[in-house]
Amino acid sequence: MAFLCGPRQVGKTTAARKEVPVVYINWDDQTDRQIILKGPNGVYHHYKLADFNKSNIQLVFDEIHKYPRWKQFLKGFFDKYQGDFKVLVTGSARLNVFKRGGDSLMGRYFLYRMHPLSVGEMVRTTFGQSEIRQPAKVEKDLIPQLLKFGGFPEPFLKGDQRFYNRWKRMRTEQFFYEDVRDSTNINAIAQLEILSEILKERAGQLVNYSTLSNEIQVTVNTVKKWIETLESLYFCFRVRPWSNNIPKGLRKQPKIYLWDWSYISDQGARLENFIASHLLKAAHFWTDVGFGDYGVYFLRDKMKREVDFLMIRNHKPWFIVEVKSSANKRISPALEYFKNILGIDHAFQVDFGTDFIQRDCFQEKRSIRVPAATLLSQLV
């Protein structure tokens, strides 16, 4: 089986239904829900799956994670009809959170995480046999449009501000009053919404759980659980500090970022989040397709030297990225410091004030300034 997860309206269902023939079964549909409750045999007989050419059919179970016994259902279906059908499970919650202990589906699925549109995805649709690709021409209006409307397909492709405003309001309502309600036991929705608004204002900043606890009048443990919930439903993600081999390195406090960077009003924070989202998408994709094990971190020590992002590959530092809103002639001293102390080959000072240039960043072994368009075109 394949699990395809990602935020609401990122394009999972569209991607899932491209396969032909496909049997699409949606837990949110009342009729489909009644059929699922009859168990694997009920699904098999209702959809007359015996009549299909088994090698060509794809079964899609959408949002089935909302069913309390979804893992048992899929395990039973897979064990009985293994090899007969291609099974794709999609959901707007982090299906991989259930890897923690006692996962009855262990060894039965591969996980794929779907992200909003990115620069690399817009300039090419094929992927090579290695992580990094040659730079590809990025049109001048692509990044401004992505920054303005976000990477979710519908508002980005429409490119209309009024449509975007309506879409954002509708999606926010669905998130809190459908996704949160269906997937959690949280009753204090109003306070959770306040927390989400605070996180929008503080994207790219260190998370202070005690401060948040005082602001929304809940315990520190509740704040932590709520942020984990928002993460599991693809509202936000945390980037943690990398402290290995960093003298007096920051060890605990993470930074917070949003899956939809267009929610962020501060321009500098939006640009940083834009890069964070692209790096996370690359790390997830490279990991999910089997290139290795990747992760995104940041660097900071007690002397307040800081670099925005570190990409690790197979548990070792690979490249670092410092984000600048405009062209800056001087390389950040912190970028040079951490490059040297970690022995990293690639250190990029990325700016949004310079147009795309045809230059392979990853051929450079020294700290360099590079246009955001160039670096991002080489990622996913």
Residue-wise pLDDT for 175-194, tens only, equals 999 999 888 889 899 999 99
Contact indicator for 183, 235 with CB cutoff of 8 Å: no
Q: Is the pLDDT of residue 323 over 70?
A: yes
| CA angle, 177 then 195 then 68, to 5° | 40
Lowest pLDDT segment from 53-57, 123-127, 353-357 = 53-57
> What are the backbone angles phi and psi of residue 46, rounded to the nearest 5°?
-65, -45
283 and 144 inside one domain? yes
Contact indicator for 61, 88 with CB cutoff of 8 Å: yes
> Looking at residues 122-131, what average pLDDT do you find?
89
Tell me which DSSP letter residue 369 carries: E
CA 347 → CA 56, 104, 224, 339, distances in Å?
Answer: 46, 42, 33, 6
Q: Output the DSSP codes for 161-186.
A: HHHHHHHHHHHHHHIIIIIHHHH---
Q: What is the spatial distance between Cα 368 and Cα 346, in angstroms, rounded to a whole number?
A: 8
The strand pair at 367-371 and 346-351 is best described as parallel
Where is pLDDT greater, at 256 or 129?
A: 256
pLDDT digits (tens, 9 = 90+) for 306-321: 999 999 999 999 999 9
77 and 187 inside one domain? no
101 and 190 inside one domain? no
Q: What is the spatial distance between Cα 272 and Cα 131, in angstroms, rounded to a whole number?
A: 22
Which residue among 52, 83, 113 closes a domain? 113
Give buried/exposed letters for 67-86 (b at 16+ CB in 10 A, else e).
beebbebbbebbeebeebbb
> Looking at residues 255-276, what average pLDDT do you find?
99
Cβ contacts of residue 14 below 8 Å, gap of 6+?
A: 153
pLDDT band of residue 94 (cuts 50, 70, 90) is confident
Q: Which of 310, 253, 238 has the alpha carbon at shortest distance from 279? A: 310
> Looking at residues 246-258, what average pLDDT do you find?
93
The strand pair at 306-313 and 294-300 is best described as antiparallel
The whole-number pLDDT of residue 140 equals 96
156 and 76 inside one domain? no
Tokens of 123: 């300039």
CATH number at residue 65: 3.40.50.300
212 and 177 inside one domain? yes
Q: What domain count does the chain have?
A: 2
The whole-number pLDDT of residue 52 equals 80
90 and 147 inside one domain? no
The whole-number pLDDT of residue 179 equals 92
* Prediction pTM value: 0.96
Which residue among 73, 90, 113 closes a domain? 113
pLDDT band of residue 250 (cuts 50, 70, 90) is confident
Q: Is the pLDDT of residue 221 over 80?
A: yes
pLDDT band of residue 103 (cuts 50, 70, 90) is low
User: What domain range is 101 assigned to?
Assistant: 2-113
300 and 179 inside one domain? yes
User: What is the SS3 assignment for 191?
Assistant: helix
Tokens of 332: 């950040």
232 and 347 inside one domain? yes
The whole-number pLDDT of residue 361 equals 97
Tell me which DSSP letter residue 249 carries: B
The whole-number pLDDT of residue 349 equals 98
95 and 153 inside one domain? no
Which residue among 113, 132, 158 closes a domain? 113
87 and 207 inside one domain? no
Q: Which of 70, 87, 74 has the alpha carbon at shortest distance from 24? A: 87
Q: What is the chain's mean pLDDT, rounded?
A: 94
Q: Is the pLDDT of residue 56 over 80?
A: no
> Looking at residues 91-119, what average pLDDT do you find?
81
The whole-number pLDDT of residue 2 equals 95
147 and 286 inside one domain? yes
86 and 214 inside one domain? no
pLDDT band of residue 96 (cuts 50, 70, 90) is low
> Looking at residues 335-362, what average pLDDT do you find?
97
Q: Which of 43, 111, 36, 87 has the alpha carbon at shortest distance from 66? A: 36
Neighbours of 13 (CB within 10 A): 16
Q: Is the pLDDT of residue 22 over 70?
A: yes
Q: Is the pLDDT of residue 292 over 50?
A: yes
Q: Would the CA dihedral through 283, 27, 72, 21 be positive or negative?
A: negative
pLDDT band of residue 102 (cuts 50, 70, 90) is low
The whole-number pLDDT of residue 101 equals 47
Q: Which of 216, 266, 213, 209 has the alpha carbon at shortest distance from 238? A: 209
Q: What is the CA radius of gyration of the chain?
A: 22
Where is pLDDT greater, at 68 or 118?
A: 118
